[in-house]
Amino acid sequence: MASPSHRRSLRTRRALVVSAAVVAAGVGAGVVVMNANAGTVDLYHQTLAAKDGWASSGTGTTGGTKADAAHTFTVSTRAQLVKALGSATDTTPRIIKVKGTIDANTDDAGKKLSCADYASGTGYSLSSYLKAFDPATYGTSKLPSGTQETARAAAQSKQAKNIVFKVPANTTVVGVPGTKAGISGGMLQIQNVDNVIVRNLSFADTEDCFPQWDPTDGDDGNWNSEYDSVTLRGATHVWADHNTFTDAPHLDSANPEYYGREYQVHDGALDITKSSDLVTVSRNQFTNHDKTMLIGSSDSEPSGKLRVSIHHNVWKGIVQRAPLSRVGQIHIYNNYYDVTTLNGYALQYSINSRAKAQVVAADNYWKVPSTIKVSKILSGDGTGAIAGSGNLVNGTATDLVAAYNAASSKDLKTTVNWTPTLTTGLESSASAVKNLPTSLATTTGAGVLS
């Protein structure tokens, strides 16, 4: 029997979780939920509902639902997660249940690792790096090169081997309910594989110990870090659902400045790049983050891919890239954006359409304080398009593109070359959109599924 959709109300659901025995059983165990509306729901074998965004297109997204007992794992440590993931080229279906919070910055024995541990033996030190590439002496016209840059790259490589988790095809990674499941300081890398589900997990403080200085980035240079919490590179059929993404406990306000620029240790939260395609991002919470979601890593990425649906997510305390879209066909609907400055994270923009991206942004809700102009909600380079209607700002229907174009010299286009049809769960009535701040507060993010 097909798994019922997760779209039914989580507030009205009367759930009986039969979990104590099965969680204790470990490998091969499952959590069973009794749903008053739909009977038995097995969280670990749930698949993406039909017509639920781009990831339901074609073969759909089923993850590891066909996993046998030998490929069903419960993991609580970094070493166990690495073992359960196995080889990135192994396409055998697998289900990985994350129980509790896994600290990626630990060794195989569980010992905590620091930035100093990764730098050990490489010859890298921050003070030496800063001395070597001070713009006053090194200049601003070329990227760092030489002994300290080589050492920095080596230290970064050591960290990457520890905190980057490569997810193979046909995999479901899901948090065990009631255990505060998640990954701290790590990155799930979904690269050149098909059919992956990531659900019910908290991703916190994915931090690069060794950012690179780029004096050519922007007018004043920038520090650029390496790791996203979840990164898609050339991936297809991926469903990211009911996760929480945050910089906490290391907020950007704690970052020092070097060369007059913030020493940025965080990169993306959930990035979708390198011609990834057929992705659905639903019912997640994104909070306390700067460069949050990048769709397309280059303006020159080929057309025909980067098709992404983003719906019923909460964005709060986000500076930019919610998302930044290039090239593809992106549907953004029924999201709630609170752009009030939070913990020092101040809005630059919410949605950016560039490099001829074809964005449909409809039936979303923005909470905007009086200190922020509505024209700042959108951004673009003059080649991207944003179509759509039914967007509300503080409860009032608002033409976001018109507000942006009136204040910008690079107008967003208002027509797109496609019409969304994979819209299961779309709420288009004004009353439903007005209710998004309330309804999404209790139905999004990690720890909600049971």
Instruction: Please tell me the distance from the alpha carbon of residue 14 to that of residue 18, in angstroms, as a whole number.
Output: 13
Q: What token pair was written down for 108?
A: 């195989």
Kind of pairing, strands 257-258 and 261-262? antiparallel
- Cross-strand partners of 109: none
Q: How far is CA 345 from the centre of its chain?
A: 17
Instruction: Please tell me the distance from the alpha carbon of residue 365 to that of residue 393, in angstroms, as a whole number.
Output: 6
Task: Please pick, among 78, 94, 152, 321, the residue that the annotation labels catalytic.
Answer: 321
Dihedral sign for Cα atoms in the order 375, 379, 380, 385? negative
Is 321 known to be catalytic?
Answer: yes
Q: What token pair was written down for 446?
A: 């990690």
> Comparing C-alpha atoms, which of 320, 322, 319, 347 is closest to residue 332?
322
Cα separations in angstroms, 275 against 48, 236, 415, 422: 21, 9, 23, 20
Decide: 229 and 269 in contact? Cβ < 8 Å: yes
List residues with catalytic annotation. 321
